[in-house]
Every structure is written in structure tokens, then in C-alpha cells.
């Protein structure tokens, strides 16, 4: 296997999907959090029977169930990319891998011992374990002791915690208001990951907090669980509810409930994340070199864009400048024959020297690119921070003999990772990866 394969296997064992992930068994590398200890599955106090299946919740909360069933929370343990990465990691670390990884992707399975160290088949797990981040996990969280690395406490019982202060009474379970469910801390316990060297491998919460949004009432839930008016239970009172679609940057790659609807929600969120503007001379002269500036401003989100798993998120600019008859005089951000960007991950020699791609990389202490998280001292994080503007300059030459006008078409494009990664994992059948055009604009230039 290629070094590139192992590079992405290792850091994506930490960073795939939506949740913070920790690699156990590499403590001598100095990058594994000290408070991440293997779970002794022979002495865990919880049993899988302590947790209620989402199927049981469905009878009283059909709307919530429908929203959740197509979400990344329901997809967490069924994600074939996550499964492939975990299996590779298990083979490399002789079954000693998991830590906070599966404690977030399937907390019920990991914390009850239903998921053992070593390889497993998801379809052989208890049904509740297969539900990933299921209803009874979130609504059994009694405390968050650490913002990152699965730092939440579970208290499964017949009392379900939530954000509703006056819940409808029912005979199935007790309900208790918890202010934690109105706090971003709840989300940060899984959506942030830090190493013992304080390298923020996944930092949506930290980005939000340091951007100043932590001092306001704007929380993760406000954007990712938006409010609507409806019934908490059929026939119940009309009240303000929260969507349980948990829309973010992750897109299911297999057949999954509500996949088309979820994809539309992902597109809507990504297309409302950044503002884009173009700047170029109104007139140009043949035989000269002119410029096009693309300005990307993160004026709509409370964290960096892209966020979550910035090592595999690709957000790039596609630029095409054509003359009146369609001849291309400049291009950047186009694909090679494999559908990859023309950068270091392409199998072909041609490189796109003008490429803007916000995908991040890990850096060693000596300044070279790290092979994985185990030898990373820092991160070259290329994401755009809240209230930050990234100006990307393109230089293009106007050929002699041209007349009329030029049209520059610019697209800000996104996909959850590049095709090269799926090929390296042997998951070619999942290609092509959906692409979202976050912003599209054109500008016309007159040739004098």
C-alpha cells in the first residue's frame, strides 16, 4: 500500500464522519490524550439492555425519528468508510484500537461491551449498537466533563433529558429539563478532538468559542437543530421543536433513509456558509497579464469553513476563463482523469500551480508533512475562520489577436473527501463522491 494510503488511514481513523476520534496504543508518540483509556468491556457497569432502541421511540416521536433516521448520527457506525478505516487500524494495531472512536460512533455498543476490541461486523451487533448516535444516547447524557474526546457521562434510565421545560406527560418515560441541551458543550464532547500536545485535530467547538460566539446565545443547536413549530407527540400541544436532521458537511455514500432529502439540506447549508465576490479589470489589452481576485468571506457561520474533519474536506475554487467562442485561456480547479484535483494526491504528473484548496495537512516538528497524527506537531489549517476573508489571486495572459469579451466563471466547490482516498481503501464502488457548488458567479471582461 502507498504511503499516501497510510497517511490518510491514520489521521482519518481519528477524523472520519462528524465525531472526535482517538487512537489508542500509540502513547509513546506523544500525541494521544492521557485521559483516553481503553474500556474494560468485562467490567462495564452498563448493559446494552439499558438503552432503548430508536424504533421504540418512533411510536411516540415519528417526526423526530424520521429526521434522525436519515442523519449523520444514524449513519455514524454504518458508514462504510468509517468501517474500512477501523478495520485497517485494527489490523495495524492488533485489535487494540478504539478509544473515543467508537465511544462516539456507537456509544451504546462501546460502553456496554457489545463492541469488543478487534474486528467486528456491524450487522452482527445488537440493534441498538447499530443505530450509532441513537436517541437514547444523547437523551441519557447527564454531564459533559471534557469538551472533546467523547467526554460525556451517560446515565441510562427511564428519565430522558432534553431542552423542553414543560414536556408532555407520557407513560413510557419520565422527562427532565437539562440546560446542557441548550449548550454547545453537549456537541463539543464529540465534535472536538485534542491530542495531549493540544493539537486540535477536530475543533468545531473550539473555533466557535474562540470566534467570540461563545459569549452569545448562538449555539451549535441554533444552526444544526433549527426550530420549527409542531407536535412533540401526535396530538400533543403545538410548541417550538428542534430538527433532528443534524445537517453538516457529511454526505452518506450508500443507500440510506431520506438520502435525497438530506442531500438537499446539506446543499442548502453549504450554500449559505460563505459569501463570494469577484474582482477583475473591466477592460484588458491583448498581450498583457491581468488578474482576477476571488474573495471568500466567512460571514455566516460561527466556526471555520470547512470544519469537522479538515484533513479530508475538499473546498476548492474552479476557475474557467473563456473567450467568446469558448476557447479556454485560463483554468484552475479542474479534475484529472480519475476525478482528483491536480495536486499531490493525483496519480498523474500534471500539477495545477494556481489551485486553491482549503484542505488541511498535518505538520511534523521539523516542518515536513506528517505521515499521520502520531507524528504531527501542528496543523496547516487552511479553513476560513469566522469573519475572515480569503483573497485568491489568479493571473492570466491575454493572447494576441483576441477581441470581444472574456467570461470568467468561478465556482466554490465542496466534497467530503477526494476520490483518491476511496480508491486507496478499495471502496471504488462508492464513487463518484457528490459535489456541492457552494457559490457560483461570473464576470465579463472587455478586450480593447
Instruction: Render pLDDT for 71-80 as a digit per residue (tens, 0 to 9).
Output: 999 999 999 9
Q: What is the pLDDT of residue 21?
A: 31
Q: Within 211-258, where are the H helices?
A: 220-224
The span from the CA of 298 to the CA of 304, in Å, is 8
The span from the CA of 243 to the CA of 228, in Å, is 7
Q: Model confidence at 283, in pLDDT bands (50, 70, 90)?
A: very high
For residue 106, give the DSSP letter.
Answer: T
Q: What is the pLDDT of residue 411?
A: 99
On average, the pLDDT of the chain sits at: 87
Q: Model confidence at 41, in pLDDT bands (50, 70, 90)?
A: very low
For residue 442, give the DSSP letter.
Answer: E
Q: Which of 361, 388, 391 is nearest to 376 (CA)?
A: 361
pTM for this structure? 0.89
Q: What is the pLDDT of residue 376?
A: 65
Q: Model confidence at 193, in pLDDT bands (50, 70, 90)?
A: confident
Copy the grid coordinates of residue 373: 497524527
How many CA atoms are closer than 13 Å to the CA of 320, on its beta-carbon side? 12
Strand bridging mode 361-363 / 159-162? unpaired
For 237, phi and psi rounded to 5 degrees?
-70, 150
Mean pLDDT of 209-227: 86
Range with lowest mean pLDDT among 63-77, 158-172, 257-271: 158-172
| Contact (Cβ atoms closer than 8 angstroms) between residue 107 and residue 131 | no
Q: What is the pLDDT of residue 428?
A: 96
User: In what side-by-side order are the strands of the sheet with 436-447?
Assistant: 283-284, 436-447, 404-415, 314-322, 328-332
User: What is the residue extent of each domain of the chain?
Assistant: 3-269, 274-305+314-357+384-447
> CA triplet 326, 329, 331: central angle to 5 degrees?
100
Quote the percentage of the chain above a pLDDT of 70: 85
Task: With a cut of 50, say whether residue 38 has pLDDT above it.
Answer: no
CATH number of 274-305+314-357+384-447: 2.60.40.10
Amino acid at each position: 500500500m502507498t504511503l499516501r494510503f497510510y497517511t490518510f488511514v491514520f489521521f482519518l481513523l481519528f477524523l472520519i464522519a462528524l465525531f472526535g476520534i482517538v487512537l489508542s496504543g500509540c502513547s509513546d508518540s506523544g500525541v494521544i490524550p492521557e485521559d483516553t483509556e481503553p474500556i474494560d468491556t468485562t467490567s462495564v457497569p452498563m448493559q446494552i439492555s439499558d438503552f432503548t432502541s430508536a424504533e421504540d421511540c418512533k411510536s411516540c416521536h415519528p417526526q423526530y425519528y424520521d429526521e434522525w433516521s436519515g442523519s449523520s448520527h444514524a449513519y455514524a457506525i454504518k458508514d462504510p468508510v468509517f468501517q474500512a478505516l477501523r478495520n485497517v487500524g485494527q489490523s495495524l494495531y492488533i485489535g487494540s484500537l478504539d478509544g473515543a472512536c467508537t465511544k462516539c460512533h456507537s456509544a451504546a455498543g462501546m460502553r456496554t461491551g457489545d463492541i469488543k476490541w478487534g474486528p467486528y461486523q456491524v450487522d452482527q451487533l445488537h440493534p441498538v449498537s447499530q443505530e450509532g448516535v441513537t436517541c437514547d444516547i444523547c437523551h441519557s447524557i447527564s454531564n459533559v466533563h471534557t469538551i472533546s474526546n467523547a467526554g460525556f457521562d451517560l446515565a441510562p434510565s427511564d428519565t430522558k433529558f432534553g431542552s423542553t421545560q414543560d414536556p408532555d406527560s407520557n407513560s413510557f418515560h419520565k422527562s427532565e429539563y437539562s440546560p446542557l441541551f441548550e449548550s454547545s458543550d453537549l456537541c463539543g464532547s464529540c465534535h472536538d478532538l485534542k491530542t495531549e500536545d493540544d493539537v486540535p485535530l477536530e475543533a468545531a467547538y473550539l473555533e466557535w468559542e474562540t470566534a467570540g460566539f461563545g459569549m452569545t446565545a448562538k449555539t451549535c443547536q441554533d444552526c444544526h437543530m433549527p426550530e420549527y413549530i409542531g407536535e412533540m407527540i401526535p396530538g400533543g400541544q403545538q410548541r417550538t421543536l428542534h430538527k433532528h436532521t443534524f445537517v453538516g458537511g457529511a454526505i452518506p455514500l450508500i443507500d440510506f433513509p431520506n438520502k435525497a432529502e438530506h442531500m438537499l439540506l446539506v446543499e442548502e447549508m453549504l450554500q449559505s456558509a460563505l459569501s463570494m465576490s469577484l474582482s477583475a479589470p473591466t477592460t484588458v489589452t491583448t498581450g498583457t497579464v491581468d488578474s482576477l481576485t476571488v474573495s471568500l468571506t466567512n460571514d455566516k457561520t460561527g466556526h471555520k469553513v470547512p470544519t469537522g474533519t479538515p484533513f479530508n474536506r475538499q473546498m476548492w475554487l474552479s476557475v474557467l476563463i473563456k473567450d467568446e467562442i469558448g476557447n479556454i485561456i485560463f483554468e484552475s480547479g479542474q479534475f484529472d482523469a480519475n476525478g482528483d484535483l491536480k495536486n499531490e494526491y493525483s496519480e498523474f504528473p500534471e500539477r495545477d500551480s494556481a489551485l486553491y484548496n482549503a484542505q488541511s495537512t498535518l505538520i511534523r516538528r521539523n516542518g515536513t508533512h506528517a505521515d499521520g497524527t502520531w507524528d504531527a506537531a501542528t496543523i496547516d489549517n487552511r479553513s476560513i475562520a469566522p469573519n475572515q476573508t480569503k483573497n485568491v489571486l489568479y493571473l492570466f495572459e491575454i493572447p494576441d489577436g483576441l477581441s470581444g469579451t472574456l467570461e470568467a466563471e468561478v465556482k466554490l466547490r465542496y466534497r467530503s473527501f477526494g476520490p483518491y482516498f476511496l480508491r486507496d481503501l478499495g471502496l471504488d464502488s462508492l464513487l463518484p463522491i457528490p459535489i456541492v457548488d457552494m457559490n457560483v458567479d461570473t464576470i465579463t471582461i472587455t478586450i480593447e
